[in-house]
Amino acid sequence: MFHGTITEELTSHEEWSHYNENIIEDQKDFVYVKFNGLHLKSMENLQSCISLRVCILSNNFITDIHPLQSCIKLVKLDLHGNQIKSLPDTKFWSGLKKLKLLYLHDNGFVKLKNICMLSACPSLIALTMFDCPVSLKKGYRHVLVNSIWPLKALDYHVISDEEIIQNWHLPERFKAYNHRLFFNFCPALKKKKIKYSKVE
């Protein structure tokens, strides 16, 4: 079990010992980072990952995501299962012009107004916020759908026209939460089964 920073995680592995001297300098070239379930508390060393496109930091103890501000090439950001309670302001999100997929479910978000900061993210098409206290608030889905204009899917369901256009009643198959509009854009990671064969 690991309880430190990303840099410590990168430099602590024995098999990487010959890379340790250059690892920090090389971070600017990283395009994919996956550190899930490592009990990380901080991501401050990611601010040098200016080429980062996919960042998976799920199931850690992260509370602050400001270090990602310099990762302006991000397309996918998975921060589910952390201890984040509030999001940065609109300036932060407007800088992430390429961000399309954002997984924030299973965090501590409470204020709907704070989540609306995501409206500044110009390319965000899919967002998860389920299993957060804010998702239990009345009108949660309606507010987010009508605040984040580019959004196409929220919490495993494609956004229906009925959710956007008030008092428009559509046939059942086009209504919000219809099973036909279910879209699993955030599948759970599966562990690979290793098959062993007996050598004779």
Q: Flag whether pLDDT at 189 surpasses 90.
A: no
Measured distance CA(138)–CA(120) in Å, rounded: 23
Give the percent of the chain with pLDDT over 70: 68
Measured distance CA(11)–CA(33) in Å, rounded: 14
pTM of this structure: 0.77
In this structure, what is the dihedral angle of CA atoms 81, 82, 86, 91, given to the nearest 10 degrees? -90
12-37 confidence digits (pLDDT tens): 555 555 555 555 567 888 899 999 99
Token pair recorded at residue 98: 């390429």
- The residues, any chain, with a CB within 8 Å of residue 92's CB and separated by 6 or more, are 66, 69, 117, 120
- The residue behind tokens 């990303």 is 6
Q: Flag whether pLDDT at 10 surpasses 60.
A: no
76-110 confidence digits (pLDDT tens): 999 999 999 999 999 999 999 999 999 999 999 99
SS3 state at 126: strand
Of the chain, the end-to-end C-alpha distance in Å amounts to 38
Q: Flag whether pLDDT at 41 surpasses 70.
A: yes
**From the CB of residue 92, how many other CB atoms can be counted at a distance below 10 Å?**
16
Tell me the Ramachandran region of residue 28: left when phi exceeds 0, alpha when psi lies from -120 to 50, beta otherwise.
Answer: alpha
Burial of 128 per CB tally in 10 Å (0-12, 13-18, 19+): buried
DSSP conformation letters of 103-121: E--SS----HHHHGGGGG-
